[in-house]
Amino acid sequence: MSMSRATRTPARTRSGQWAAWAFLAPVVLYLLIFYAYPLYRNVELSLRNYTVRSFVQGDAPFAGFANYAKVFADATFAPALWHTIVFTVVSLAFQFTIGLALAVFFSRNFRLSATLRALFLVPWLLPLIVSASTWSWMLNSESGVVNAALSWVGAGPVNWLTSPDWSLWSVIIANIWIGIPFNLVVLYSGLQAIPSAVYEAAALDGAGPWQRFWRVTFPLLRPVSAITLLLGLVYTLKVFDIIWIMTKGGPSDASTTLATWSYRLGFGNLLPSFGPGAAVGNLLIVMALVFGLVYIRVQRRQAAA
């Protein structure tokens, strides 16, 4: 976030500081009560041995890192981590590639281009439960339209959501669909910032469209691309709704990621294990923050450049 400070803003005075912080007081209190405190409770959950009863009475025994040890030793840990990586990397690769292709396609105005570009935002704006349940029905083994289309071209039906070989790919497909609009819009606005004179010069030098893309567009778009991918990474790591609604992480953990595993541990069973659930959640936070900090660093460097 670049904040341009005009030189003519009044100097910092003591009374000015009071006023400034009075206006900030609500948000500071808000952050303390509704961000810091829940996060603290989450860390506490992960370090104690909570049950539903001790939750209410507040006398859960201290367990140290036992919950973390339990999580690391769990048979679900390795697959959940692997699925998180596959889900994130494959989603990002396709979202970005398709988004970039579409951004280039839309970058030259044609009739209806603005309207169509707006329509492309729809998947991003729909509630995730709407998208996820629509995809669930489209990918239904017996009655889904996707299998109907496959049989039309002579391919056999696929058990998209019920086969362990396919469920992860099913949720990835849905997630790519949801993420394309974000990539398209951001990359499109990045393209608009490239002066057309650069293209004209390249065209004069005899560069064809393909060369223009790889020699001009792509390098000049690198900063925006980096930001798009990093932000996408942070967002994708925490995707939970789509997977939970479509497959609940199943069958037999085949599409379980760290986010859905954490939810299942804490809320998905009749006997919740809050401690391990919170421990998985905290691992996820650490991952998100590492990439989040990289994102902020890159963005600041660009803003300064």
- According to CB under 8 A, which residues from 184 to 213 bind other proteins? 185-186, 189-190, 193
Output phi, psi for 205, to 5 deg.
-75, 0
Residue selected from 161, 168, 234, 243 as contacting other proteins according to rule CB under 8 A: 234
Residue selected from 69, 78, 93, 116 as contacting other proteins according to rule CB under 8 A: 116
CA dist 9 and 228 (Å) reads 33
- Under the binding rule (CB under 8 A), the answer on residue 30 touching other proteins is yes
Per-residue binder mask for other proteins (CB under 8 A), 119-148, x = binder: xxxxxxxxxxxxx-xxxxxx---xx-x--x
Q: How deeply is 268 buried, as exposed, middle or buried, from its count of CB atoms within 10 A (0-12, 13-18, 19+)?
A: middle
Write out the H or E segment, with its range, that includes residue 224. helix 222-237
Region of residue 237 (left: phi > 0; alpha: psi -120 to 50; beta: else): alpha
- Under the binding rule (CB under 8 A), the answer on residue 227 touching other proteins is yes
Residue selected from 3, 153, 204, 270 as contacting other proteins according to rule CB under 8 A: 3
Residue selected from 228, 255, 256, 273 as contacting other proteins according to rule CB under 8 A: 228
Output phi, psi for 63, to 5 deg.
-120, 0
- Under the binding rule (CB under 8 A), the answer on residue 45 touching other proteins is yes
- Under the binding rule (CB under 8 A), the answer on residue 89 touching other proteins is no
- Under the binding rule (CB under 8 A), the answer on residue 5 touching other proteins is yes
Count of residues interacting with other proteins (CB under 8 A): 109
Residue selected from 71, 92, 100, 102 as contacting other proteins according to rule CB under 8 A: 102
| Shortest distance in whole angstroms from residue 229 CB to other proteins | 10
8 A C-beta contact, residue 107 and residue 188: yes
- According to CB under 8 A, which residues from 149 to 168 bind other proteins? 151-152
- Under the binding rule (CB under 8 A), the answer on residue 38 touching other proteins is yes
| Shortest distance in whole angstroms from residue 204 CB to other proteins | 20
Write out the H or E segment, with its range, that includes residue 200. helix 196-204
Residue selected from 53, 58, 62, 154 as contacting other proteins according to rule CB under 8 A: 58
For 9, residues 6+ apart whose C-beta sits below 8 A from its C-beta are none
For 78, residues 6+ apart whose C-beta sits below 8 A from its C-beta are none
